[in-house]
Amino acid sequence: MTEYAEIEERHSSGGVARRPVVLVRGEGARLFDQEGREYLDLGGAHGWASLGHSHPAIVRAIAEQSARLIMQLESSYNDQRALWFADLAAVLREHLGQTDRGAITRIHPCNSGAEAVEAALKFARKATGRTKFVALLGGFHGRTLGALSATGTEQYRKPFEPLVPGFTHVAPDDVAALRAAVTEETAAVVLEIIQGEAGVRPLSAEFLRAARRRCDETGALLIIDEIQTGLGRTGRWFACEHFDLAPDVVVLGKALGGGIPMGAAAWREGLGKFDPGTHGSTFGGNPLACAASRAALRVIREESLPQKAAELGTWAMEELRSIDSPVVEEVRGRGLMIGIALKQPVTPILKELMSRGVWAIPAGRQVLRLLPPLTISRDDLERGLEIVKDVLEERR
C-alpha cells in the first residue's frame, strides 16, 4: 500500500470501497496512476466524465473564471450564473418541449445529483400540497435521506431505516401496480428511464406512457431522474426523448459540470417556484461551476456528442453481443450506457480488466457497466472492447 493510500485509509469515513491504485492524472479517455501506468477509462467515472478527463474547454473555462470570481452565493446576481440559466433553459426547452404547464425553464442549481433529487422532492410537495411519492424497485436516486427514500434498492436503504415516510415502491414495468399506487394523494412519481445501479435496465415504452397518463389523471408530477442518462449519454440529449416523454420535473448531475461538482432540478414554468428562504444551497450555482457547465454544454452541442453516442453505442453493442462466452447472459442499454449481464460475479472480471489497463465499473453484483466518455475515439473504444471480449471469452 502506498503512502497516499495509507493516509486515506487512516482518515476516510469508510463509506466508499477503494481499488488498490492511486490515480493522479487524467487526459481524455485515459487515467494514469502514481507509477505512470495508463488505463483506458470505460467507466467514465460513473458517468460524470462524459467529456473525458481535463477537456481543454473545461480547463480553459475554469482557469478564466477562477481568476475573476470563484464563489458567490445565489443571494446576489452573477453574470456566469445568469448565462448558465439561459444556456441550460434553452437546451431544456429545445429537447423537452412545451406542455400546458409550460417549458422547463425554472432551475434550482446545486452540487450533485442527490441534492437535485432532494430539491425535486421538496418542490413536488410545495407545488402539489401532497406528501406521498411513488418510485420503483431497483431505482437509485442518491444516498441522502430523501433521495435514499426514493431509492428502491434494499442494500442502500436497510442500514438507514426508518427513512422519510410516504414512499411506495412498485416493480418496473408493472403497469397495474403503478396505477394502483399513484392516487390523488401522490405528489410525484420518481423514475429513471434506464435503471443504472439495477444493472442498466431500460424501462418499457408502455410503462413510461402509463406513468405519464396516471400522473395526468391524478395531478401527480412526473419526476425523471436523468442524472446518469442525461446530456447525451443514451444517444439523445435526454433519455426521455427516445419515448417523446414529457416530464414535469427533471433532475441532472454527473456530466452537467464537465467534471466540476454540479447538479440541477428543473421544472415547468407553470408549476411555480420556491418561496424565498424555503430552499437554497451555499455553493449551488457558484460562478466557477456555472462557467464549467456552460463550456460543457457548448462542447456537447459543437461536437455532436449525443449523435456520436448513438452511433458508437449501436456499434459497440453489436460487437459485445458477438462475444462467445457462456458467462454472458445479455447485453443491454442505449447509446454509450451499456450493461453486460453475467452469470457470475463481476468483481473478478473488473480486476482482470484493470490488470490489462481497462477501467470499468459494476452495476450490481453481476453486471459489467460501460460508461465511456462520449468523446472517446472509435479506435480507443475498439481497443477497449477487444480487451473486454478477451477477458469474458476466457471465462468458462
Q: Specify the amino acid at residue 201.
A: R
Phi, psi of 246 (to 5 degrees): -105, 100
Residues 45 and 71 in one domain: no
Residue 396's pLDDT is 76
Q: Which amino acid would we find at residue 219? A: G
Domain limit, last residue, from 252, 268, 302: 302
Counting the structural domains of the chain, the total is 2
Helices and strands: H and E segment counts in the chain: 12, 18
193 and 312 co-located in one domain: no
CB 279 within 8 Å of CB 119: yes
What does the block give as the cell for 291? Answer: 462557467
Q: What is the CA radius of gyration of the chain?
A: 21
Residue 199: CB partners within 8 Å, gap ≥ 6?
Answer: 138, 339, 341, 363, 364, 366, 367
CA 133, chain centre distance (Å): 21
162: preceding bond cis by omega (within 30 degrees):
yes
CATH code where residue 210 lies: 3.40.640.10
Same domain? For 142 and 289 the reply is: yes
Taking the CA atoms of 180, 181, 185 and 187 in sequence, report the sign of the dihedral they define: negative
Q: Which three cell numbers stand for residue 122?
A: 421538496
Distance in angstroms (rounded) separating the CA atoms of residues 32 and 374: 19
Residues 336 and 306: beta-carbon distance below 8 Å: no
Provide long-range contacts, Cβ within 8 A and 24+ apart, for 177-183: 178/134, 178/207, 178/210, 178/211, 178/214, 179/210, 179/214, 181/134, 182/134, 182/211, 182/214, 182/215, 182/218, 182/220, 183/132, 183/218
**Choice among 140, 167, 207, 238 that is catalytic:** 140
225 in active site: yes
Q: Which residues pair with residue 263 across a beta bridge?
A: 110
317-339 confidence digits (pLDDT tens): 999 999 999 999 999 999 999 99
CA-CA distance, 95 to 99, in Å (whole number)?
A: 12
Query: What is the Cα–Cα distance from 291 to 62, expressed in whole angstroms?
Result: 7
Kindly name the residue from 133, 254, 308, 380 that is annotated as catalytic.
254
What are the cell numbers at 298?
457548448
**Do both 269 and 168 map to the same domain?**
yes
Is the same domain home to 116 and 41?
A: no
Of the residues 239, 273, 302, the one at which a domain ends: 302
Is there a catalytic annotation at residue 133? no
CATH number at residue 341: 3.90.1150.10
Q: Looking at the structure, tell me whether residues 162 and 287 fall in a common domain.
A: yes
For residues 71 and 200, membership in a common domain is answered with yes
- 281: containing domain: 63-302
Cα distance between residue 361 and residue 88, in whole Å: 29
Grouping H, G, I as helix, E, B as strand and the rest as coil, residue 52 is: coil
Contact 370, 348 (CB under 8 A): no
213 & 336 share domain = no
Residue 40 φ then ψ, to 5°: -85, 120
Question: 378-393 and 347-355 are packed helices; what angle lies between their axes, rounded to 10 degrees?
Answer: 130
Active site annotation includes 140: yes
Instruction: Point out the catalytic residue in the list 41, 225, 248, 380.
Output: 225
What tens-digit pLDDT sequence spans the chain (396 residues)?
689 989 999 999 998 889 999 999 999 999 999 999 999 999 999 999 999 999 999 999 999 999 999 999 999 999 999 999 999 999 999 999 999 999 999 999 999 999 999 999 999 999 999 999 999 999 999 999 999 999 999 999 999 999 999 999 999 999 999 999 999 999 999 999 999 999 999 999 999 999 999 999 999 999 999 999 999 999 999 999 999 999 999 999 999 999 999 999 999 999 999 999 999 999 999 999 999 999 999 999 999 999 999 999 999 999 999 999 999 999 999 999 999 999 999 999 999 999 999 999 999 999 999 999 999 999 999 999 999 999 999 987
Say if residue 38 is in the same domain as residue 17: yes
Are residues 125 and 75 located together in one domain of the fold? yes
Same domain, yes or no: 21 and 97: no
200 and 168, same structural domain? yes
Q: Which of 258, 275, 302 is the last residue of a domain?
A: 302
